[in-house]
Structure 1
Amino acid sequence: MTTIGFPEDQLLSAREVSLRLADGPHPYETLHADGIEENWQAERSRNATLFDGRTVLFSRVALSDGRLVGDCHDVRYASLLHWRLARRTDLAAHLFAMAMPVTADGAVLTVRMAPWTANAGQVYFAGGSFEPSDFVGGVADIDGNMLREVLEETGLDLAGERREALYRVIRSDRGVIVVRRYALAQTARELALRVRHFVAGETRPEIVEPVLVTRGSPPDPALLPWVRRIVDWHFATPFDE
């Protein structure tokens, strides 16, 4: 796996993102098949609600001249969980995309994950890994993935909302994260009420609550470091259309 142009924890910009779903198994999944299954059984023993669905794992990621490209493979969710044990390998990388909703009064919407999820209690933007269904003609619909995940987790429909022209890209121990800011017309209080109402009506919500981050407010202890890095950048950087 080749990763180019990703100094860790440095926020970069991309005007174009092209992610492709490759044919055939991922070399990482083939090499670690036994370990993946063993770890999956251990994960299930700790959290029986986990589901071994399909996701993707990348074999190539590169950023050059404002263009982010990547090749990925259809894998078990169990393979992604196994990758998370060490995270650093030349065979594979995790890349995911997240919308960053910004309220009318400048707050940033993050969420606290539900206890039954793989990231229980952690606070970050609503979002999730790519699924094979996110690829149309073998190419990822990155914005479609972002909007679907926000809708599923918060009930907010960002379709048609004003969004920033550029994508922001950061590499952390979680993988490569692609973020795009969306400007919403509602205030932080209004959005918080909407999300709480949505969560209360869900049988098995993916999140516990919205966590609104405002300028100068102390960060939630569970806010992931890479999210805080992006939030700090947001408060120092005007919205770019």
Structure 2
Amino acid sequence: MQAPVIQRVTSLDLTLQRRPWPFADERRAEIDAHFAEQQRAKPSLWNGRVLLGRDPVFSTGRLSANYFETDFASFLAWRDWGFPDPEIFNGFGMGALLASDGAFVLGEMGEHTANPGRIYFPSGTPDLDDISGDTVDIAGSVLRELAEETGLSPADCRADADWHCIYTGPALAMMRILRVDMPGEALCARIEANLAQQQEPELAAMHLVRSRADLTAAMPRFVTAFIETQLGA
């Protein structure tokens, strides 16, 4: 994984293509066996359809890329096996929750998920619900994941106009700051109350980041790279 490259853009031009993925086709049997093994350990894993990207191009104020549909099992194998197809990236949106007192609010993924213990902002690999015509709607994906993971709605936050795109090669995190008019502790408490009502919440705990001292190894590099730029501003 390469060092993070951060680009700030105001628009996302993400086109959906109908195309095969040779990696998934050629290693189908291995992929299915790998997913079956993972599912035995975590029965809640579901082999749904997801969208992956390729051909990212940054120009003045714009990110352009192409997306294609595949199954979660193929994505999981590609991730777990060290990203054997270097032309592909996991391009997802993240809602960077920012409380009124300047604290960032992040969630810790539960043990039953594909990323147990990892700490980051509400997000998810885009799927079929994020398709709008022949494009991928990352802005909509961010709000959908926000509601699913935290119970917050678009009315609870104000989204910045621009995106902070953190590219590491296998991952491209498109982060949009979501400003919430309540202090960090109160925002965490509200989300935790929502999690307590869910039968199997994705998040196991909430974390506040106010300074670099609050950053941990459980946070992916694209998350810490983004927060470092914000804390340094």
Normalised TM-score (structure 2): 0.92
Q: Percent identity?
A: 25
- C-alpha distance 172-236 of structure 1, shift in aligned 2 (>3 A): same
Structure 1: gaps (5+ residues):
1-6
**1:6-45 matches, cutoff 5 A:** 8-45=3-40
Change (3 A) 1:159 1:61: farther
Alignment match of 2:173 (pick from 153, 172, 177): 177
Q: Deviations over 1:66-91 (max 9, x none)?
A: 32111111111001101102125234
> Whole-Å Cα distance in 2 between the matches of residues 129 and 194 of structure 1?
25
Structure 1 stretches of 4+ with a deviation exceeding 4 A read none
Q: Distance in 1 between matches of 2:61 and 2:164?
A: 10
How many angstroms apart in 2 are the aligned matches of 1:97 and 1:65? 20
Distance across 2 between alignment mates of 1:154 and 1:236:
27
* 1:139 counterpart letter in structure 2: T
Query: How far off its partner does 1:220 sit?
Result: 3.5
AA aligned opposite 1:30: D
Q: For structure 1, which segment, 109-118 or 208-217, has the greater mean C-alpha deviation from structure 2 after superposition?
A: 208-217
CA contact (8 A) 1:52 1:77 kept: yes
CA distance, structure 2, for counterparts of residue 140 and residue 160 of structure 1: 24
Q: RMSD across aligned C-alpha pairs, in angstroms? A: 1.9
Alignment partner, residue 230 of structure 1: 226
> Using the alignment, how far apart are the partners of 1:197 and 1:126 within structure 2?
16
CA separation of 1:218 and 1:91: change in aligned 2, threshold 3 A: closer
1:12, 1:100 → 2: CA distance? 16
Relative to 1, partners in 2 of residues 1:222 and 1:75: Cα closer, same or farther, differing over 3 Å? same
> Separation in 1 of the partners of 2:132 and 2:98?
28
CA drift of 1:204 comes to 0.5
Q: Unpaired segments of 5 or more residues in structure 2?
A: none
Determine if contact 2:89/2:169 at 8 Å carries over to the other structure.
no
Map 1:52-91 onto structure 2 (within 5 A): 52-84=47-79, 85-91=81-87
The CA distance in 2 between the partners of 1:225 and 1:77, in whole Å, is 23
Q: Secondary structure at the match of 1:37?
A: helix
Amino acid at match of 2:12: V
- Residue by residue over 1:126-171, the C-alpha shift from the partner in whole angstroms, topping out at 9 and shown as x without a partner, is 1101012211111122111001101100111134732222211112
In the alignment, the residues of structure 2 paired with residue 216 and residue 61 of structure 1 have an alpha-carbon distance, to the nearest angstrom, of 30
Alpha-carbon distance in 2 for matches of 1:154, 1:162: 16
Contact 2:23 2:85 in 1 (8 A): no
2:133 is the alignment partner of 1:144: no
- How does the TM-score come out when normalised to structure 1? 0.89
